[in-house]
Structure 1
Amino acid sequence: MAVRRVMPIIQSEAAQESREFYGLLGFEEVMNLGWIMTLASPSSPTAQVSVMTVDKTAPVTPDMSIEVDDVEAAYALMRDSGAEIVHPLRDEEWGVRRFFVRDPNGRVVNVVSHL
């Protein structure tokens, strides 16, 4: 299993202000679903930050997202390790397969692969 990118997720109602603030650092909007917006560096597209009001289909808002090339393998590893699965493995309508797991610090991690 390979990690493709790691992205912090900021829970906020200030999407426009965040877009402007991170825009000053060179980030540009690459996705906006209304409840989540992702900003990326044009020169290094995997350098990203997301701003989320609330997760559309999960009971909690994750703190970070880790994109992997094999989400099923990641899910099996986390489940078998005894880690707390916060949101089950599932396909989402916006083209990803994901699950949430709680890390040892109490942070919720969205582990995801694109379909």
Structure 2
Amino acid sequence: MKTEGVEAIFLTTHNWGKSAKFFQSLGYTLDFETDHNSGQLRNGPGPYLFIAEVPASEPPAMRLVMKVADAKALQLDPGVDIVSPFQDTHWGTQEMTVRDPDGRVWSLQAPK
């Protein structure tokens, strides 16, 4: 089994409210908002956006997350650089990170 495409785009921001309004002006709708300045937005059947506010001392970042149906069934080629194996997340999934040949880090997400 391989990945099933991009599942999500995780963004960090210095202002959750302004970011949410920006994406809503682009046609995204708010799925849910947390009590700690973050939330999930969607625009059609494609990847969802999850935006989380971080302190001003951290630079805003973006991370693409690829979908994996079953973490145990994932078959990676032997040469893939695994940065961290699948680990449980606090939001109810499992996440793994791998590095591509150019040094970019990618997240793979599977159901728990």
Q: TM-score, normalised by structure 1?
A: 0.68
Structural RMSD (CA) = 2.7
Q: 1:88 aligns with which of 71, 85, 94?
A: 85
Shift of 1:21: 0.4
* Aligned mates of 1:8, 1:64 — CA distance in 2: 5
CA contact (8 A) 1:66 1:110 kept: yes
CA contact (8 A) 1:62 1:110 kept: no
Q: Residue 21 of structure 2 aligns to a residue in which SS?
A: helix
User: 1:81-104 CA distances to partner (integer Å, 9 max, x unpaired)?
Assistant: 24141x331122321011111223
Runs of 4+ in structure 1 deviating by more than 6 angstroms, as ranges, are none
Q: Which runs of 5+ in 2 are unaligned?
A: 55-60
Amino acid at match of 1:40: R
2:17 equivalent to 1:16: yes
CA contact (8 A) 1:4 1:69 kept: no
Q: TM-score, normalised by structure 2?
A: 0.70
Question: Which position in structure 1 is the counterpart of 2:99?
Answer: 102
User: What is the percent sequence identity of the aligned residues?
Assistant: 22
Work out the number of aligned pairs and report it: 104
